[in-house]
Amino acid sequence: MKKKSCDCWDAIENKTMVVIYVGGAVVGVWLASTVIDAINGLPVVPKFMELVGLRYTGWFIYRYLLFKVNLHL
């Protein structure tokens, strides 16, 4: 496993950009988590977002899973 990952890392030509992208992804996930925690701290927003999620789930099931006409198997 170590040799395979080392071979993969050695095959990358632009290692600097890979490190920058990975670092940016980590910062992006951290920032999104912080924003979601801040929004979740507001009194009404979590229940509203739960309602939106349930509504969207219901619509998705109705639209894509309930009727055979719309199934693309």
| Residues 33 and 49 occupy one common structural domain | no
pLDDT single digits (tens) 7-39 = 887 888 898 999 999 999 999 999 999 998 998
| Residues 36 and 8 occupy one common structural domain | yes
pLDDT single digits (tens) 42-62 = 888 888 989 999 999 999 998
Give the structural domain span for 11: 1-41
In this predicted structure, what is the pLDDT of residue 32?
97
Q: What is the reported pTM?
A: 0.56
In this predicted structure, what is the pLDDT of residue 8?
83
Number of domains present in the structure of the chain: 2
Residue 48 and residue 50: Cα distance in Å, rounded?
5
| Residues 37 and 47 occupy one common structural domain | no
| Residues 22 and 47 occupy one common structural domain | no
